């Protein structure tokens, strides 16, 4: 199982130079991917622009959106952005996609929240056509550039429901589980996705990517909890379930890595809850396991 790490670009007031230095250190340490979370109505950095900056200071690690809320965006523009980033990074882009669960994001983007799933499926179809240099409409020339990865970047689809998991099997190259859920819950969704994959007549193996929150070092649990309570504040009292899932000791991280490996995850993303560079060093101790 590969071990990836998230960027602290979603944590409010994180300095831009810290994000870039974090990326360089994580790349040099040997993490498999650098992930980034998406929101609209929140003071986070925009994922695609941030990954473009990160691509210029890294050489090896993959760049992964985990997940990008596609319905908030114009599909043709996003396809061009993704193809551009894939070329700039030498084919290192992985696209984790989702439909989003926050109504305020949909309102801010001017889209119908209740129709975002249908919109997403139409968008993904269009983006794949663009990446494959197929015609996308009358009197519309091909949209470039051509991605380094044939047919476009790998697409992982995430979500917290069986419907989302089934969508991953039908339309994605993999399923990605969000932070805050344990290995067995992630596995239950992956099984739904796999059944959908098989029933759709698809060959090969559906990728299985998981994620979990961490905060290591002195007073780490309290620091990490403050960010999680802010980010997931819309959940009300249920946010404490996510707070309690933060891995704040080396033993807890080791146990989580073991549990996700045991359920067959291909890659695990350690999501930071503290925007301090020491977190990269503390997390890198688990790479040799």
φ/ψ of residue 164, rounded to 5: -65, -40
Instruction: Convert the pLDDT of each residue in 194-223 to its tens digit.
Output: 999 999 999 999 999 999 999 999 999 999
**What pTM value is reported for the model?**
0.96
Residues 6+ apart with CB under 8 A from 222: none
Residues 6+ apart with CB under 8 A from 25: 277, 280, 281
* Per-residue confidence (pLDDT) for residue 135, from 0 to 100: 84
Closest CA to 88 of 47, 118, 58: 58
Whether the per-residue pLDDT at 289 is higher than 80: the answer is no
Buried/exposed 241-263: b ≥16 CB within 10 Å, e otherwise: ebbebbbbeeeebeebbebbbeb
* Per-residue confidence (pLDDT) for residue 180, from 0 to 100: 85
Residue 179 — pLDDT band, cuts 50, 70, 90?
confident
* Per-residue confidence (pLDDT) for residue 229, from 0 to 100: 97
Residue 226 — pLDDT band, cuts 50, 70, 90?
very high
Quick one: what percent of the chain has pLDDT higher than 70?
100
Overall average pLDDT of the 86-113 stretch: 97
The CATH number of 2-284 is: 3.20.20.30
Domain residue ranges in the chain: 2-284
Instruction: Convert the pLDDT of each residue in 36-52 to its tens digit.
Output: 999 999 999 999 999 99
Residue 255 — pLDDT band, cuts 50, 70, 90?
very high
Overall average pLDDT of the 235-255 stretch: 96
| Average model confidence (pLDDT) across the chain | 97
């Amino acid at each position: 199982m590969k071990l990836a790490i998230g960027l602290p670009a979603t944590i409010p007031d994180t300095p831009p130079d810290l994000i870039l230095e974090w990326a360089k250190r994580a790349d040099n340490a040997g993490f498999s991917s650098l992930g980034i979370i998406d929101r609209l109505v929140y003071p986070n950095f925009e994922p695609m622009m941030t990954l473009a900056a990160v691509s210029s200071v890294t050489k090896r690690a993959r760049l992964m959106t985990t997940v990008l809320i596609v319905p908030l965006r114009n599909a043709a523009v996003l396809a061009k952005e993704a193809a551009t980033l894939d070329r700039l990074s030498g084919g290192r882009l992985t696209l984790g996609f989702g439909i989003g669960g926050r109504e305020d994001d949909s309102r801010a983007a001017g889209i119908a929240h209740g129709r975002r799933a249908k919109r997403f499926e139409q968008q993904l179809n269009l983006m794949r056509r663009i990446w494959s240099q197929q015609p996308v409409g009358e009197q519309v020339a091909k949209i470039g550039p051509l991605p380094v990865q044939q047919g476009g970047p790998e697409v992982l689809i995430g979500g917290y429901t069986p419907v989302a998991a089934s969508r991953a099997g039908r339309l994605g190259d993999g399923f990605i589980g969000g932070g805050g859920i344990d290995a067995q819950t992630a596995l239950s969704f992956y099984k739904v996705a796999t059944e959908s994959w098989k029933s759709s007549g698809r060959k090969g193996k559906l990728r299985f990517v998981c994620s979990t929150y961490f905060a290591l070092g002195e007073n780490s649990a309290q620091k990490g909890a403050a960010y999680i309570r802010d980010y997931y504040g819309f959940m009300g009292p249920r946010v404490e379930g996510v707070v309690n899932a933060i891995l704040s000791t080396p033993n807890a991280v080791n146990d989580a890595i073991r549990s996700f490996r045991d359920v067959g995850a291909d890659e695990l993303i350690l999501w930071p809850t503290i925007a301090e560079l020491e977190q990269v060093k503390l997390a890198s101790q688990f790479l040799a396991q």
